[in-house]
Amino acid sequence: MTQSVNLPKIDDFLQELATIQQQGSKRVAILGSRHVPITHQHLIELMSYALVLSGNRIITSGATGTNFAIIRGALRADPNLLTVILPQSLSRQPPESRDQLENVMHLVEHGEWDQMTLAEASTLCNQEIIAKCQQLICFAFHDSHTLLRTCEHAEEQRKVVTLFYFD
């Protein structure tokens, strides 16, 4: 009996290797859960800060938790290298996020998705973010269904995906 093993195609491997080794700036999407311990938020903020200081463009969404930390770090390093794409209009964001989002130079709102559930709008928003990036860094729990589907979508789009689990 012959078993088949799904091995990545050599072209996929070479493309991932080239992206990882690429010198210079990249478009890095960073997404994650809203429910993040404060110590993790500080680490995520430092990572975002360092990525921007290295010349990378950060693309994220606006929410509490992980995305809040990403935005805070990127704004400290260079606000011009941060793009935030919201799943709905700014008025639908939590008040604590709105204050921070007002400082974002490159802010994209999707008011046309206001009538959708947040999960539906977030799925569409994450797909847009993935289309604009070269690499995805994601912070999730094992039951973060929307984020895990986003990682799968990014892999299907042949993006380099780094997934960190909180649990």
What the block records as the tokens of 78 is: 């260079």
What the block records as the tokens of 151 is: 């990682």
Q: What is the pLDDT of residue 11?
A: 57
More confident of the two residues 94 and 43: 43
Q: What is the mean pLDDT of the chain?
A: 88
Cβ atoms of 77 and 47 within 8 Å: the answer is no
DSSP string for 33-44: -S---HHHHHHH
Q: What is the pLDDT of residue 13?
A: 53
CA distances from 88 to 42, 58, 104, 109, 115 (A): 26, 19, 16, 6, 9
Q: What percent of the chain has pLDDT over 90?
A: 70
Write down the residue that tokens 């999407």 correspond to: 29
Q: What is the pLDDT of residue 15?
A: 58
Q: What is the pLDDT of residue 9?
A: 55
More confident of the two residues 68 and 96: 68
d(CA 33, CA 105): 23
Q: How many CA atoms lie within 13 A of 167 on its CB side?
A: 7
Q: What percent of the chain has pLDDT over 70?
A: 86
pLDDT exceeds cutoff 90 at 17: no
pLDDT bracket for residue 4 (50, 70, 90): very low
**pLDDT per position as a tens digit, 82-129:** 999 999 999 998 888 888 999 999 999 999 999 999 989 999 999 999
* Angle between helical axes of 66-77 and 38-53 (0-180°, round to 10): 40
d(CA 97, CA 102): 9
Q: What is the pLDDT of residue 86?
A: 96
Kindly state the average pLDDT of the residues 26-45: 93
Cβ atoms of 71 and 100 within 8 Å: the answer is yes
Q: What is the pLDDT of residue 5?
A: 45
Instruction: Please state which CATH number belongs to domain 23-165.
Output: 3.40.50.450
What the block records as the tokens of 129 is: 């973010």
What the block records as the tokens of 64 is: 């509490």
Contacts of 147 (CB under 8 A, 6+ apart): 31, 32, 33, 126, 138, 140
pLDDT exceeds cutoff 70 at 2: no
Q: What is the pLDDT of residue 14?
A: 55
